[in-house]
Chains A and B, each alone.
Chain A
Amino acid sequence: MKSPIHFATAAFAAAIAATPLMAAELVKVDGSSTVFPVTEAVAEEFQKAEKGQTMVTVGISGTGGGFKKFCRGETDATGASRPIKAEEVALCKENGIEYIELPAALDALTVVINPKNDWVDFLTVDELKTMWEPAAQDTIKNWNQIRDGFPDRPLKLFGAGTDSGTYDYFVEAIIGEKSSRGDFTASEDDNVLVQGVASDVDAIGFFGLAYYEENQGKLKAVPISWKGADPVSPSVETAKNATYQPLSRPIFMYVNKKSADEKPHVVRFMEFYLSTEHAPELVKEVGYVPLPDKAYEMAQAKLAARTTGTVFEGAEVGVGVEELLARTPK
């Protein structure tokens, strides 16, 4: 079997002849696939601006998988679609990893229905809770159980997979518990949910704003009313000015303090990530909501001051990103 292997080696080697050399300076980023499009966009432009001196690599191990690597000191920064959890804080502490918690962008979780659905004009958080809470399993099966006046039609639920940060945030914001009912159509691929809701008049589902905006002809977004306030439709503006609540959420970048102290190129990368000059445009381009300008400034200041720790104590919802940045971390 010797000759075929040699032959294969030669063939593969020939196929990849001219290749540029690896760059010396490397920024290693991993983490959530929700944050990935933003980091990819920033990395692409940052590499251009650095003229090849610095290279950025981005993985998609997921928020949890990303924190596992980050807290072992394997990555310089990690993306997260939810705040760091207590056990991850403990793991980082155990390994002596200090981190700077920074907002990367905003996302508006959008509740969507089929365009042919003519009975829903808005929904309250309580109505959503009635639909999704664990007690609803096997009992809430019809639209007329949600509100008087809704038609006698079956209720069909579509949602993010239970492993995702999107699911965690929705459940926390709407139900205030750790889990929802189990009898809904779940998918890790939001495009599957788009197809599901777009092809069923009785369907209702939720996912990130970008998936709604790319499929506006096929879906209708539901305005949400929280704590008796007027219903608010999800949009870039209402997420940015924190009026679309409680489903607006920041997504995060956690930066290793040691990397920031020892590697100037990691700091340059994060400064680029948070610059009002580049970030808002890049974030918008990939379908997310940029932070308010003031939040970018506050985040820059936090990075410069190397303020470590998290401002979250357990999960919180409905807090504006500026308010979060103004807090003193533990």
Chain B
Amino acid sequence: MEADATRVVASGVRFQRLVAANRRTDIMMASIGILVLMVASALLASVLVDLILTGWPRLINPDFYTNFPSRKPEQAGIISAMVGTALVMLVTAVVSVPLAVAAGIYLEEYAPKNWLSDIIDINVSNLAGVPSIIYGLLALGLFVYGFGLGETILTAGLVLALLILPVIIVATREAIRSIPRDLREAAYGLGADKWQTVSHYVLPAARPGILTGTIVGLARAIGEAAPVITIGALTFIAFLPPPPVQSTPPFVNFDWLTSPFTVMPIQLFNWVSRPQAEFHINAAATGVVLMVMTLAMNGLAIYIRYQLRKHQRS
């Protein structure tokens, strides 16, 4: 009896020690995580603060947002670049998200496990690592000359869509894979067929992951200059594309798709390389606006996610 009691006590002590050791590891990992997070945030914050401080005189000047580029740094503005970036990103999002999500669903849910799927699989992962200038050259040959789409907003939107397809496909697949098997089994059990299961249960559950992938992809696309220059984006342009909405029927207008354009990163790049220090101030201010546009895009995605969740519950 006594021996048994000792054994129980001993094992209890051992158990407590184990718990304490695990807790120490937990705390250590958590602190490392927080440290890494803080370093990353501090880096981003310092870049942003530096840009804001440098670009402040331009950021507070409303002309900066409504003027076209100019040789005079104090009069130069980013209206054409802002509109260009917004329209190009619109095309990119509309083209890439449905395509990538469809591809992700197919690869995860429908594709038979054979060598062909494996090849597609490997290719998608590899494409995510291809330098963006390669996409630019592809688009120059295929879209600009091959399809005759010209140096337009449509071409730029398409090339950036291609660029971020792999990112969103991979994110979609990860998101779908993380859905518990039980959910599917439950749907099948109620008599749902494959498509009903995917569209009613799997996709809604995977939405946060897909949206996150979309944000990451679009945030990459918005900062790209190289492929957009390759397909012939302009640097100086003092008019805007025709507006996509009009007051007369049919109220929408797609002429803007074929308009010449410029985008924010090109404008930024051009100003950074100028000799005059005043242009560097403009470049910093452009950097801030670009970051704000990216944040706004993320904010929009988070808002959409929030709205979708509310709908799901009700």
Residues of A within 8 A of B (CB): 1, 3-5, 7-9, 11-13, 15-23, 30, 33, 36-37, 39-41, 43-44, 47, 55-61, 69, 188-191, 208, 210-211, 213-215, 282, 285-287
Q: Is the CB of A69 within 8 A of B277?
A: no
With beta carbons under 8 angstroms apart, the residue of B94, B259, B272 that contacts A5 is: B94
Instruction: Chain A residues near B266: list those with CB within 8 A.
Output: 60
Task: Knowing A5-B98, A13-B245, A36-B235 are in contact, say whether A19-B272 is a contact too (CB < 8 A).
Answer: no
Q: Is the CB of A60 within 8 A of B275?
A: no
Apart from A16-B243, A40-B71, A190-B275, 17 more pairs, CB < 8 Å: A1-B98, A4-B301, A8-B93, A8-B300, A11-B300, A12-B89, A13-B245, A15-B86, A20-B239, A22-B242, A36-B270, A40-B70, A41-B71, A57-B260, A60-B266, A61-B232, A214-B276
Instruction: Chain B residues near A60: list those with CB within 8 A.
Output: 229, 235, 266, 270
- Determine the residue in chain A with the shortest Cβ distance to B237: A57
In angstroms, how far is the closest chain B Cβ from the Cβ of A238? 19
With beta carbons under 8 angstroms apart, the residue of A13, A30, A191 that contacts B275 is: A191
Is the C-beta of B101 less than 8 angstroms from some C-beta in chain A?
yes
Q: Is the CB of A12 within 8 A of B236?
A: no
- Within 277-298 of B, Cβ neighbours of A (below 8 Å) are at 277, 280
Q: Is the CB of A37 within 8 A of B274?
A: yes
A interface footprint on B227-260 (CB within 8 Å = 1, 0 otherwise): 0010011111111111111000000000000011
Question: Considering the chains assembled together, what is the distance between the CA atoms of A214 and B72 in angstroms?
Answer: 15
Q: Is the CB of B232 within 8 A of A59?
A: yes
- Determine the residue in chain B with the shortest Cβ distance to A18: B243
Question: Considering the chains assembled together, what is the distance between the CA atoms of A20 and B66 in angstroms?
Answer: 12
With beta carbons under 8 angstroms apart, the residue of B83, B229, B236, B243 that contacts A36 is: B236
- Determine the residue in chain B with the shortest Cβ distance to A16: B83
Question: Considering the chains assembled together, what is the distance between the CA atoms of A210 and B210 in angstroms?
Answer: 49
Q: Number of contact residues on B: which range applies?
A: 35 or more
In angstroms, how far is the closest chain A Cβ from the Cβ of B22? 42
Question: Considering the chains assembled together, what is the distance between the CA atoms of A314 and B303 in angstroms?
Answer: 61
Question: Considering the chains assembled together, what is the distance between the CA atoms of A8 and B270 in angstroms?
Answer: 29
- Determine the residue in chain A with the shortest Cβ distance to B84: A16
With beta carbons under 8 angstroms apart, the residue of B229, B237, B243 that contacts A61 is: B229
Q: Is the CB of B275 within 8 A of A7?
A: no
Question: Considering the chains assembled together, what is the distance between the CA atoms of A57 and B232 in angstroms?
Answer: 11
Instruction: Chain A residues near B71: list those with CB within 8 A.
Output: 37, 40-41, 44, 282, 285-286
- Within 72-101 of B, Cβ neighbours of A (below 8 Å) are at 72, 83, 86-87, 89-90, 93-94, 97-98, 101
In angstroms, how far is the closest chain A Cβ from the Cβ of B224? 16
Q: Is the CB of B239 within 8 A of A59?
A: no
Instruction: Chain B residues near A16: list those with CB within 8 A.
Output: 83, 86-87, 240, 243-244
Q: Is the CB of B275 within 8 A of A210?
A: yes
Instruction: Chain B residues near A69: list those with CB within 8 A.
Output: 232
Instruction: Chain B residues near A43: list those with CB within 8 A.
Output: 236, 238
Question: Considering the chains assembled together, what is the distance between the CA atoms of A21 and B243 in angstroms?
Answer: 8
Instruction: Chain B residues near A3: list those with CB within 8 A.
Output: 304, 308
Question: Considering the chains assembled together, what is the distance between the CA atoms of A44 and B71 in angstroms?
Answer: 8
Q: Is the CB of B272 within 8 A of A59?
A: no
